[in-house]
Amino acid sequence: MGEFTIKDKTAIAGLGETQYYKRGAAPVSEFRLALEAIQRAADDAGIPVTAIDGIASYSNDRNDSVRVATALGLPELRFTNMFWGGGGGGGSGAIGNAAAAIVAGFATTVVVYRALAQGQFGRFGATPAMRTISGPIAYTWPYGMSTPAQWIALRTRRFMHDHHITQDPLAAIAMACYHHAQSNPRAIMYGRPLTRQAYDESRWIVEPFHLYDCCLENDGAAAVILTSAERARDLKQKPAYVMASAQGSDFRQGATAENGPDYATSNFKTLAPRLYAMAGIEPKDVDVAQVYENFTGAVMTSIVEHGFCHPDEVMDFCTFENLTAPNGKLPINTSGGNLAECYMHGLELIIEAARQVRGTSTCQVKDAEISMVVSGPMVAPVSDLILRR
């Protein structure tokens, strides 16, 4: 790919988070949460917030970039961008878009943010009441299939059937996330460890997903500031250099009404090779990964599609011991992730990836050099990110 990449030309320089709340419990507006996270990211980077001249987001964030720029008092807005699609598929892609804008000279300092206040705008995990429906949902909603948990469960069950996989890997993923959250005071599930017995005895949401296989529902905001690699070296924090970012979708993964030809996929089969090619590394070089867990089944298939194990090796690879810091083969979601830290559409996973290469995680992987983020498996489009120390 040569010169036509963003590799090592930009870095994450600032991280910002509000307090995370249970859905509907935020005491202030979603817009105010977004501004607070951005201000905290600027403070973390050691720059005035007015140094920001680019804004990027994803998942149809409601906080309009021009309004954000006005409220922050930005002297000039040189770049504004929104990654297509809902859910968390655009988290890493928004970082990639920000990095590309800096490399292209469109902006010098770009903030990526995501904010949610479900008490203000409605619950993400609930199906809205509708009198009439049309289009693809007419083939699923009347028959009770109306939430992401249901369609991701079907894809997961297909993968499990094809490769003779039991409940054990799903339980291991959930328990690893909850285990890491016990070291993270910011986590919603801090102080609430998960045992295998509690996992097994929790209610079914939709098979094969128990309650603890499903992401949290939260209010709050998170923000990440990027700038050039040269400038980042002179700022307050140790830079997390952007080695690679990939985004997109496999063949017909946007086909609706459950009509995708490759049904049991996380949608990373074409992205992962491009990601590794840009970074110039292989799966064995990754020290720690933050894998977006809307549901544990999507983590399992993402681990496979990023080359960490073959489908028929899942039972041996996806164990609690292998997935936990500090000594696992591939520690995942070391802040607790969407399951146990907070569900901020995965931007909190990118913050944790940067903390790992900074060396400031609450579940630090020793000498972590390369940190991966997998954003929004089993949606379309999706995206990936690799950071390095």
Contacts of 355 (CB under 8 A, 6+ apart): 15, 335, 361
What's phi and psi for 100, nearest 5 deg? -60, -40
Q: Is 212 one of the catalytic residues?
A: no
Tokens of 114: 């995501």
| Residue whose C-alpha is closest to residue 374's, from 284, 280, 281, 276 | 276
List beta partners, residue 210.
204
Tokens of 341: 């830290």
Q: Is 292 one of the catalytic residues?
A: yes
Which residue in 20, 178, 212, 292 is the catalytic one? Answer: 292
CA dihedral 361, 363, 367, 370 (to 10 degrees): -70
- In angstroms, the CA 107 to CA 103 distance is 8
- In angstroms, the CA 375 to CA 361 distance is 20
Neighbouring C-beta atoms of residue 179, cutoff 10 Å: 20
Task: Give the Cα-Cα-Cα angle 164, 287, 326 (nearest 5 degrees).
Answer: 85
Which residue in 21, 212, 241, 343 is the catalytic one? Answer: 343
What distances in angstroms separate CA 339 from CA 24, 66, 69, 190, 276, one per listed residue? 18, 32, 32, 11, 27
Residue 89 · residue 271 · CB < 8 Å: no
336: left (phi over 0), alpha (psi -120 to 50) or beta: left
- In angstroms, the CA 270 to CA 331 distance is 24
Helix (H, G, I), strand (E, B) or coil at 235: coil
- In angstroms, the CA 160 to CA 169 distance is 10
Contacts of 249 (CB under 8 A, 6+ apart): 267, 270, 380, 381, 382
| Residue whose C-alpha is closest to residue 361's, from 322, 326, 335, 338 | 335
Q: Which residues are catalytic?
A: 292, 343
